[in-house]
Amino acid sequence: MAKIFCIANQKGGVGKTTTAINLAAGLAKLGQRVLMIDLDPQGNATMGSGIDKRKLALTVYDVLLESATIAEAIVKSDKLVQSGCSYDILGANRELAGAEIELVEVTRREKRLKLALAQVDTEYDFVLIDCPPSLSMLTLNGLCCAHGVIVPMQCEYFALEGLTDLVNTIKQVHANLNKDLQIIGLLRVMFDPRITLQQQVSEQLKEHFSDKVFNTVIPRNVRLAEAPSYGLPGVVFDPSAKGAQAFVNFAQEMVERVKTMNHKPAQP
């Protein structure tokens, strides 16, 4: 059965999508079977995986509204298949913004994605969910089916602001809807070691959250930012770049983390 992870942080522009697509590619590179789900109506993870969101016949929206099965809506990217480092994609586009309102009417609305995933989760080792920058019904659907949350964050002065809201939401979901859910870890991204403040915040994170902070640090790297315009994750676009290598290391760390997760009782 797949291990399911949400990449979440209600702040925008903190590196969620970059983490989702590069972790997916990194895991694929290590031979893991991966499904990447785009839960953001902006569809950046879809585009960044080489899928044109405007041409998608079926998306995660259809799955949530049950007008298609998950198997029908999952696609592969030709570019990724050609690269030999491929993962499956359940894409999103702006249509998904309407799901928030349409789901209000339906029963068990926060469990729609969970029910759908149950149909395919034996086919994957990892499912990664790229969440929108909000604690909305879409994010809730992600949190309800996940075993863990990966929180990308920049080591800046306000980094911890907002983390409290996310942690409280995760605690509530853990208590009421999903006993398996835990924060797997905080991932330091866009890191620039030359900036003293970033080093200080990074140290503070380690002190406060100890083993909840991933060992891998993702550096600020322009190749990671350029890659999506070619419809590729940085890991595939320029495997030799520092950022790409860091994400492969992170994928390795996740593979190790999953092994220990199976032995520990879940805690938020």
Is 266 one of the binding residues for ligand ADP (CB under 6 A)?
Answer: no
Which range binds ligand ADP by CB under 6 A, 68-76, 116-124, 220-228, 253-261? Answer: 220-228
**Residue 156 buriedness (CB in 10 A; 0-12 / 13-18 / 19+):** middle
Of positions 3, 5, 11, 17, contacts Mg ion by CB under 5 A: 17
Q: Is the CB of 133 or the CB of 239 nearer to ligand ADP? A: 133
List the structure tokens of 249: 């290391």
| 4/56 Cα distance (integer angstroms) | 24
Q: Residue 213: which H helix or E strand, with range?
A: strand 213-219
Is 220 one of the binding residues for ligand ADP (CB under 6 A)?
Answer: yes
Instruction: Report the DSSP pairing between strands 34-38 and 88-90.
Output: parallel
Using CB distances below 5 to 8 A depending on partner kind, what does residue 14 bind out of ligand ADP, Mg ion, none? ligand ADP
**Cβ-defined contacts of 192-195 (< 8 Å, 24+):** 192/219, 192/220, 193/219
Q: Is the CB of 14 or the CB of 121 nearer to ligand ADP? A: 14
List the structure tokens of 91: 């894409």
Q: Residues binding ligand ADP: what is the number (CB under 6 A)?
A: 17
R_g of the chain computed on alpha carbons: 17
Which range binds Mg ion by CB under 5 A, 1-9, 17-25, 99-107, 221-229? Answer: 17-25
Of positions 16, 29, 53, 220, contacts Mg ion by CB under 5 A: 16
| 36/43 Cα distance (integer angstroms) | 12
Q: Is the CB of 121 or the CB of 188 nearer to ligand ADP? A: 188
| Contact letters for Mg ion, residues 25-44 (x by CB under 5 A) | -------------------x
CB 13 to ligand ADP: min, Å: 4
Using CB distances below 5 to 8 A depending on partner kind, what does residue 98 bind out of Mg ion, ligand ADP, none? none
Contact 41, 95 (CB under 8 A): yes
CA 129 to chain centre: 4
Q: Is the CB of 121 or the CB of 143 nearer to ligand ADP? A: 143
User: Facing residues of 126 across strands?
Assistant: 3, 34
| 63/70 Cα distance (integer angstroms) | 6
List the structure tokens of 104: 């209000």
What is the end-to-end Cα distance of the chain in Å, rounded?
A: 21
Of positions 163, 224, 236, 241, contacts ligand ADP by CB under 6 A: 224
Is 18 one of the binding residues for ligand ADP (CB under 6 A)?
Answer: yes
Of positions 23, 25, 155, 218, contacts ligand ADP by CB under 6 A: 218
Q: Is the CB of 3 or the CB of 220 nearer to ligand ADP? A: 220
User: Facing residues of 219 across strands?
Assistant: 191
Contact 149, 24 (CB under 8 A): no
Q: Is the CB of 170 or the CB of 235 nearer to ligand ADP? A: 235
Residues that bind ligand ADP (CB under 6 A): 12-18, 44, 133, 189-190, 218, 220-221, 224-225, 243
Residues in touch with Mg ion (CB under 5 A): 16-17, 44
